[in-house]
């Protein structure tokens, strides 16, 4: 794997983790079982989906033969 691809993959991974940490790091994280979906759930789901997409793109880039 090229050094630049590793750096790009690492940068995407760190950005995704930062987004997840920011989006999921609120104080009232522990809720009793059987409660309604939290009000920020849709935003968190969007962030998780974006992070998964970014990670998949980084994987494709890291395994791509285009730059070789």
Please write the tens of the pLDDT for every residue from 12-68: 887 887 777 776 655 555 556 666 777 888 899 999 999 999 999 888 888 877 665
Query: 44 phi and psi, to 5 degrees?
Result: -65, -40
pTM recorded for the entire structure: 0.43
**Which residue, chain included where needed, has tokens 């969007």?**
46
Predicted pLDDT of residue 40: 87
Predicted pLDDT of residue 32: 60
Predicted pLDDT of residue 50: 93
Predicted pLDDT of residue 30: 57
């Amino acid at each position: 794997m090229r050094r630049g691809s590793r750096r790009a993959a690492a940068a995407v991974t760190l950005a995704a983790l930062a987004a997840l940490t920011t989006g999921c790091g609120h104080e009232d994280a522990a809720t009793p079982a059987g409660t309604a979906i939290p009000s920020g759930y849709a935003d968190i789901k969007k962030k998780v989906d974006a992070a998964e997409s970014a990670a998949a793109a980084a994987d494709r880039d890291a395994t791509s033969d285009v730059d070789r």
